[in-house]
Structure 1
Amino acid sequence: MNGKVTTTRTKLERGRSALGPALELVHTGRAPTRAVLTSELGVTRATAGAVAAELEALGLIRVDSRPGSAAGSQGRPSHRLAIRESGPVAIAAQVHADGFRAALVGLGGRLVATAPGCVTVTADPAQVIGEVVDDCARLLRDSGLRCVGAGLAVPSAVAEPEGTALNPLHIAWPAGAPVREIFAACVREAGIPGPAFTGNDVNLAALAEHRHGAGRGAQHLLCVATGHRGVGGALVLDGRLHTGSSGLALEVGHLTVNPEGRPCHCGGRGCLDVETDPLAFLIAARREPGPEESLLKQAGDLLRTEYEDAAVRGAAEELIDRLGLGLAGLVNILNPDRIILGGLHRALLEADPERLRAVVADRSLWGRSGSVPILPCTLDHNSLVGAAELAWQPVLDDPLAALA
């Protein structure tokens, strides 16, 4: 009798330990059926079925036990697994140079609801973060959905373990602003349940793209992106963000690509940050930036609608060459197996992909073979989705404990 009880308990514990890995497989789209889940987890069909049933009972996924058979297929089709659309959500907030945005994000990186927020960011981080959290709370109340936690993306390196915004160069916040502490306090005051997390916007964009977008399947993923101002970078290694010893890794915006170029906010000259961002493009294209729209939107619209104009094309080629020089240096150092580009860099890639790839191939040791794919980011609001990933991580680690 004791042996049987022990065996039953062991099976139960093994199934519970598989809940997190199973949920992550469904969350990232890698296990659309129970058969795939069984194979990926390396468990028996019965265990996979019990795990799927437990996740369904927790309100996280749906199990379709009677899926239709594909034409010409033989045998009984495997149960389909999908994210439960009425399941819990994570709060996601983003602050950038041109305003902020609030969102609710479900499993699978699905945007459930968004609120555009304001178009100006004051010098008081507590005021700005308080306002975006208020928007998040309104979205949550209107949805009636359960909340697992909250994540905030900011346009600054976030020092660990303090959670301070070390260099918010393009917003007027003081260096070292305690953004994580402020965000957590605002979340509590708004009555939003669950833990609160904060991270750099490009780091979070890379995490979202790796799980749900253009970076899926990459082992060593390099992401370089323009924000509304400036340039950021991130590296995902074996599914985990590489943030360095104190959260400050991959400040690629401060690579020098034009020694005689513009002064940079960091004190250097000719950095990617000021040579390949939206303002640099507008200046190179001889366009006066307007106050009515974000610089990122103005630059993107100009590139899409007036690319045949000589000044616009010349500006694009100038930025592509400088971006390619920076990417080549990063390829030499990091040896990624995929590069993804966001913001204006994505638009530059789409405007002239061969030019950018040629510059990287010509300037990098490992780029000559053309073996490093350079792709555009594919997710809308990927920094918001990435902020939500921070809040979802405790659930992915241990669904039972997180949702108890």
Structure 2
Amino acid sequence: MNGKATSARTRLERGRGALGPALELVHTGRAPTRAVLTAELGVTRATAGAVAAELEALGLIRVDSRPGAGAGSQGRPSHRLAVDESGPVALAAQVHADGFRAALVGLGGTIAATAPGCVTVSADPAQVLGDVVEAGVALLKESGRHCVGAGLAVPSAVAEPDGTALNPLHLAWPAGAEVRDIFAECVQAAGITGPAFTGNDVNLAALAEHRHGAGRGARHLLCVATGHRGVGGALVLDGRLHTGSSGLALEVGHLTVNPEGRACHCGSRGCLDVEADPLAFLTAAGIDPGPEVSLLQQSRDLLRTEYDDPAVRAAAEELVDRLGLGLAGLVNILNPDRIILGGLHRELLDADPERLRAVVADRSLWGRSGSVPILPCTLDHNSLVGAAELAWQPVLDDPQSVLAQRVP
């Protein structure tokens, strides 16, 4: 072996431990060039180049063969880095009250393909998860791409370490359904060799937004969202989901915001879960929701097309006030540096941003002295992207050992 080849191998050996951190930097968009990668990793240019070359050889990223500089930049031009859009994918699945969806998600949080599923979700988790995995497998066969693993988002707290759905309140599933094991069995039976993971849908939405969306750069990120039914919350601390001692933290849907309010599935009254979700909005607006379109879509359509109607505006203001009370309490307890809102809450924020921020500021201890930014989530299907993040994590931790095992 000549001296040049020996030198290159030595650089790669020194940088092998940086493969995972380097891939995560490119994956999250924080290293658009090799120069930035070098600075972020704290290694030499030669080592960063060897690391980037190895990730490219694994089919994970692309390195621009001709370095260039952006307009107005100074210094030596640098090679641009990007995820390989034809590289491996993760199978992501989401189940909610109005159906399910399967998707293929590449590095960078890019959705490569989606397949919406049924409208009515069976009371048998095994049947639903088998169907959603089958839809995902069809996408994989059509794409011909390698799958690194699978992730599932469910509208329930998922207890650790058992992987059971403790409170699938808006599904007909039994409490304590062993969703992780069922999903893993379906994935294995479908011939997918990668690992399978399961998590709460809002937790996964928050993870996706922190890595790829409105939560980028936040150290203490609070996410609150209402999807098709109910309200969920999540907290990301220094890049990691805070799930508590057994996976059940941040059940914000069961904060009481109206003691005399609607009865909640949890046994209490006036919880955010029933005071600030799409059904609550439609009911407050005097709308009898039809079965043909999801509650979330009906609520969005109403806000976008009928907001000038006094009944719709009053209903929106009622939900904003309830949501603001809940957020103020969370600000007092958690002291986040950013709040992001998803689902219908994003639409309510867009409709009347000043009202919501005023309620939070007025009701929180720290609101007036240093207002917390409240922003809309920016990713479409963020729970799906977050489910894929679970499947991608082993690759981000050790790309070479994971992908070296794949069969061409």
| TM-score, L = length of structure 2 | 0.96
Q: Which residue of 1 aligns with 2:19?
A: 19
Deviating beyond 6 angstroms after TM superposition, the runs of 4 or more aligned structure 1 residues are: 6-10
CA distance in 2, matches of 1:14, 1:259: 60
CA distance in 1, matches of 2:330, 2:82: 37
> Is 2:379 the partner of 1:382?
no
| Structure 2: runs of 5+ lacking an equivalent | 1-5
> Is 2:307 the partner of 1:307?
yes
Q: Which residue of 2 aligns with 1:393?
A: 393
Distance change >3 Å, CA 280–CA 74, structure 1 → 2:
closer
Contact 2:89–2:145, Cα closer than 8 Å, also in 1: yes
Contact 1:196–1:391, Cα closer than 8 Å, also in 2: yes
Q: Which residue of 1 aligns with 2:120?
A: 120
> Is 2:248 the partner of 1:253?
no
CA distance in 2, matches of 1:212, 1:198: 20
Counterpart code for 1:337: D
CA distance in 2, matches of 1:246, 1:60: 33
> Is 2:288 the partner of 1:288?
yes
**1:184-263 matches, cutoff 5 A:** 184-263=184-263
Counterpart code for 1:270: G
CA distance in 1, matches of 2:378, 2:72: 33
Shift of 1:193: 2.0
RMSD over aligned Cα atoms:
1.4
> Is 2:78 the partner of 1:63?
no
Distance change >3 Å, CA 179–CA 24, structure 1 → 2:
same
Contact 2:68–2:78, Cα closer than 8 Å, also in 1: no
Name the SS of the counterpart of 2:185 in structure 1: helix
Q: Percent identity?
A: 86
Name the SS of the counterpart of 2:359 in structure 1: helix
Q: Which residue of 2 aligns with 1:151?
A: 151
Shift of 1:367: 1.2
CA distance in 1, matches of 2:264, 2:210: 30
CA distance in 1, matches of 2:32, 2:121: 42
CA distance in 2, matches of 1:378, 1:311: 28
CA distance in 2, matches of 1:402, 1:239: 22
CA distance in 1, matches of 2:8, 2:385: 39
CA distance in 2, matches of 1:72, 1:181: 54
Shift of 1:77: 1.4
Shift of 1:227: 1.6
Counterpart code for 2:325: L
Shift of 1:8: 9.1
Name the SS of the counterpart of 2:402 in structure 1: helix
Q: Which residue of 2 aligns with 1:31?
A: 31
CA distance in 2, matches of 1:400, 1:326: 44
Counterpart code for 1:308: D
Name the SS of the counterpart of 2:95 in structure 1: strand
CA distance in 2, matches of 1:351, 1:176: 38
Shift of 1:13: 3.7
Name the SS of the counterpart of 1:79 in structure 2: coil
Counterpart code for 2:209: E
